[in-house]
Amino acid sequence: MTKITNISCVLIAKNAQATLKATLESLKAFEDVVLYSNNSTDETDSIAESFSNVNLINGDFIGFGPTKNRAATYAKNKWILSLDADEVLSEEFICTLQELTLQDNTLYSISRENYYKKRVVKHCWGKDIIVRLYNSTQTSFTDKLVHESIISDTFEVKNIPALIKHYPYSTISDFIVKLDRYSSIYAEDNVGKKSSSPSKAFFNGLFSFFKTYIIKGGFLDGYAGLVIAFSHMATNFYKYLKLYELNKELKVK
């Protein structure tokens, strides 16, 4: 297999043992893989250490955007492919990447096929197209703590025409852990900046369920669709409720 020497693959992870091995197996073509572990307490670090092309870095989580930017500073190459620890590259994607002529004024997006357990989720999530390959001397991630993205102003964006498989949830507990984490980060990122109320939390949560399950056709995804729609509802409900509480505490101070 021809090695990829001009692109570093960078991931951040916390307690990702359920998916990390499959992810790193799919990255063996990369000479430089950086895994920034956020104080993991499971087997994440030991799994990373078992791959000779992986540079394991341990550090604090300071929000998604800032943490991804910090992790990228450990890469050996200026071109960064930013991945999640639950994404698996296909051989087709690797081959396409090896043939790609990278241009400094261009960003490259990936197409993700999303799964719940081993089932493709076609309606609730569909196929994501996200900018993930960039020149770190030209741009970086935003400093947002959640819903971060690569700064794409003035850049042309081209899609890499090969799918990446995404396995974000393998158990119900995964949904619960992530919705608590994401809703807390959202509230912390927006305290004092956005208003909220119990009614806003309720109606946003309700609309989120309706949008995911009915408008997007999540009911066609069967059992998985119901779980995902309810998770979206709970995430929106709690992120606005947590923001409401933090805003109240800020006013008291």
Separation of alpha carbons 167 and 146, rounded Å:
19
Which residues constitute the domain of residue 20?
A: 7-169
Q: For 121-171, write each residue's pLDDT tens digit.
A: 999 987 789 999 999 999 999 999 988 999 999 999 999 999 899 999 989
Q: How many domains does the chain contain in total? A: 2
Q: For 20-74, write each residue's pLDDT tens digit.
A: 999 999 999 999 999 999 989 999 999 999 999 999 999 999 999 999 999 999 9
- Write the CATH number for 50: 3.90.550.10
* Residue in the block written with tokens 């569909």: 126
In this structure, the answer to whether residues 15 and 111 fall within a common structural domain is yes
Alpha helices in 10-79 (DSSP H): 17-25, 44-49, 64-72
Q: Is residue 132 a contact partner of residue 110, using CB atoms and an 8 Å limit?
A: yes
Can you give the pTM of this predicted structure?
0.86
The answer to whether residue 2 is domain-embedded is: no
Give the confidence band of 1 by pLDDT, cuts at 50, 70, 90: low
Domain endpoint, select from 169, 203, 237? 169
In this structure, the answer to whether residues 149 and 198 fall within a common structural domain is no
Separation of alpha carbons 122 and 231, rounded Å:
17
Calculate the average pLDDT of the chain: 94
